[in-house]
Amino acid sequence: MTLAAATATVAAADPHGFLSPTGVEIAFLLVGLVTLGAALVTVTTRQLVHAALWLVVALGGLAVEYLLLTAEFIAWVQVLIYVGSVVVLLLFGLMLTKAPIGRSPDADSGNRWAALTVAVAAAVALVWVIVDAFRTTWIDLDGPAAGTTEVTGASLFRHWVLPFEALSVLLLAALVGAIVLSRKARADATAAPAVPGKEGVR
């Protein structure tokens, strides 16, 4: 068997390749670029409300990426929890604390180069770990959804039930601690301070 015949056999056995992307892979790349751009605008803008709105675009782009990877359950969790809860909580925090709506010089700490260095190092490390772990793994994007609720639930409660329960206990402890701290602060605020020199005055 010649080298050309062996190459043709390998190409026929492995139809995947970077030089022949499918429509789903092209859409994945385009949505990824939009998500990356929205994330960059989120961390570079000096308007807090605009940063929160661009964060919605970035998190929504991640949800679309999960859908393209046939992980529909993770996609809807991304939309409900992050887009529907975390970002709304940030916006309410901005409104209730009377944060500046327009351009704010306080949004820039002056440590952009240090932050950029840490971000690039973290991105390189994450990309290296993911590529090394899933180098030979291919997802059939044209096949049935692999990330349905049934599949995700079975994997979660069969292989990851102990970390799941530990996380639930941790969240419960945090909730109880927040309640205790808020009640103590409210009790301290409602307690009337004693006025010195007024005890004997009638």
Nearest to residue 100, comparing CAs of 51, 56, 57?
Answer: 51
Residue 35 CA, chain-centre distance (Å), reads 12
Which tens digits make up the pLDDT trace of 65-96?
998 888 888 888 888 888 888 888 787 777 77
One-letter amino acid at 90 equals L
* Residue 192 DSSP class: P
Which tens digits make up the pLDDT trace of 5-62?
444 444 444 555 555 778 888 898 999 999 999 999 988 887 888 888 899 999 999 9
Instruction: Decide which of 52 and 101 is more confident.
Output: 52
Contact yes or no for 71/146 (Cβ under 8 A) = yes
The packing angle between helices 48-68 and 87-96, to 10°, is 170
Torsion angle of the four alpha carbons 142, 143, 148, 152, in this order, in degrees rounded to the nearest 10: -110
Nearest to residue 62, comparing CAs of 93, 31, 86, 89?
Answer: 31
Contact yes or no for 184/109 (Cβ under 8 A) = no
Cα distance between residue 200 and residue 35, in whole Å: 69
Q: What is the pLDDT of residue 109?
A: 67
* pTM over cut 0.85: no
Sign of CA dihedral 31, 32, 33, 38: positive
Asked whether residue 185 carries a pLDDT value surpassing 70, the answer given is: no
Contact yes or no for 128/49 (Cβ under 8 A) = no
Nearest to residue 83, comparing CAs of 53, 108, 113?
Answer: 53
- Which residues have a Cβ under 8 Å from the Cβ of 71 and sit 6 or more positions away? 145, 146, 147, 152
